[in-house]
A and B are shown apart, each in its own frame.
Chain A
Amino acid sequence: MAVVEPIPQVLPLTKEEASRTCPATGLRVYAGAQALTLANAVAAVLALALGGLFGGLIGLSRSPALEFLGPSTYYASLTAHGVAALVLWPVFFEVAAMVFASSILLNARVYSVALGWTSFALMVVGALITFVSIMSGEATVMFTAYPPLVATPWFYVGYLLFAVGALVAIVNFCMSIVRARVEGVITGSLPVITYGVACAAILALLSILSGLVALVPALLYSLGWIEGLDPIVYRGWFWGLGHTLQYVNVVAMVVAWYGIIALAYGAGPVNQKFTRIAFILYLVIALPVLGHHFLVDPSLGTGVKFVGGTFMGFALGVPSLMHGLAVMGGVEYGLRRAGSTGLFGWLKRLDWTSYGTAALAGSLVIFAIGGWSGTVETTLPLNLVNHNTMGVPAHLHSTVVGGMTVAFMGFAYYLVPILTGRRLWGGKLATVQAYAYTLGLLVMITGQTWAGILGVPRRTQSVSYGGDVSTGWEASMNLNAVGAAIAAPAGALFVVIMVMTLVAGKKTSVPEELVPSGTR
């Protein structure tokens, strides 16, 4: 249990804001902060529901045995899946984490609740506009929207509004921390969670700006105000910092890892200095990383591709590996101090029926697989046998879904009870959810990896090519569909648990009910 810092009245409060003390963590929770965090978290879960729905549909449809979506429906669904699952879900959740880490976690108020709601409104309106435009069939361009492929202007308008909303949230995040310092609410070093979120926020700020530079000309092109748009230039701006934007997701995932071990096991990073250096390394290396997306493009020279893509890609593995050790080591350290002996005795002390343990283990294992596939794909010559094959979805589902989404789910299982004062609905159902989701993803990723090795193309509605499909293609894509058939309902179960907790979770102030321990 954390120590509650007394809040000195250094500056007069301009407005009385209601607050309460969280019974589980002892944190001071202000009303504005709680509402904003919850709002963004709810929006995130709804986005995940949509992303998962379309993901399940396209995963099943790509099974040669099923193939029930025609081209225009399939490609529109794929676009919807990409936007909802890769843009809306992570960013809404990360904004929720930003609000939490800059206010509640610091026993502080949000810098400007009005600004927070403005950011939320922009993001919700932007998301709706883009989503509706995709559903109308006028924006079947994938979430990447490479020109000369073009969508209705509304698609880009929504994207831009959403991006601006996220930028406003980042400003609010920074100002909240500044204000907490100025008012003396926090002294000493930032908690590691806030530190990590700050790294994510900096990466997000710069990569969203780069994305805007790509999207604005695309909007002008869609409106007909400019003529040709070189897709290589667009790709340069979109993916120039586009993988950096993915690292916002990685950093947020790592933050969620620390959040789970803190709340489930009362454990911290095995070493503060090690963890903080690892977070800073993400900033230093993820900012200049570019080009795993350009490795087989007819544009950049080999030197730039190698240093910017391959070498920086290898270097990016360093902080992730460090955090892997820090997170597991933190848990092990605490359990050894509690008496575990032997090399792996501490693993037996973990409660494997706890949803925190299930989510953390699933996330660590699948992200580890993703780290391997990413390193293979970022290696310049190896990209020849990977680019645009199913190997790419295999990698990104390992990292973004198996890694980030599972970690966010686990973190949400603790965060939402804290924010709402309600016990998580369903009890051990959450544990079943986490394990089932992990299993489904493992099957799906195996199918996708196998398909990638066989050269099956990604983003393709059907690979029968008139009935002349190569052997092994059917089997691998059928396996992918089996995985999707397990994962999609398990993902839906998460949404159900979240909604039910919000509306029907038992109100309680017993710490063990809000934040149940993850050790025996």
Chain B
Amino acid sequence: MEGRTFETPGSFVIMAIYLGVFGVMWLLSFVYLAARWAIS
């Protein structure tokens, strides 16, 4: 019962999609940063 299937696939899919969107938005922030003047 535990080994093969997911018990709560709906929640898992929601959270996995969120994690994916989260990662993409985070990367896009670097694109925004890259368009600024060089600073260090």
Contact = CB atoms under 8 A, between A and B. Distances in A.
Any A–B CB pair closer than 8 Å: yes
Given A321-B19, A324-B18, A368-B18, A376 B29 contact: yes
- Most interface-central of B10, B18, B26 (chain A CB within 10 A): B10
Interface in B1-40: 7-15, 18-19, 21-22, 25-26, 29-30, 32-33, 36, 39
Contacts of A384: 33, 36, 39
Contact of B8 (A321, A329, A371, A385): A329
A4 interface: no
Interface string A331-347: 11100100000011111
A152 interface: no
Contacts of A376: 25-26, 29
Given A329-B7, A329-B8, A372 B30 contact: no
B18 A344 contact: no
A312 interface: no
A69 interface: no
A336 B8 contact: yes
Given A325-B11, A328-B11, A385 B18 contact: no
A368 B32 CA distance: 21
Interface string A447-466: 00000010000000000000
A382 B32 CA distance: 9
A71 interface: no
Contacts of A453: 32
A424 B3 CA distance: 44
Contacts of B18: 324, 368
Contacts of A343: 9-10, 13
B33 A332 contact: no
Contacts of A371: 22
B32 A385 contact: yes
Contacts of B25: 372, 376
Interface in A307-331: 321, 324-325, 328-329, 331
A329 B12 contact: yes
A202 to B, nearest CB: 27
B10 A379 contact: no
Contacts of B11: 270, 325, 328-329, 331-332
B10 A325 contact: no
Interface of B: 7-15, 18-19, 21-22, 25-26, 29-30, 32-33, 36, 39
Interface of A: 270, 321, 324-325, 328-329, 331-333, 336, 343-347, 368, 371-372, 375-376, 379, 381-382, 384-385, 453
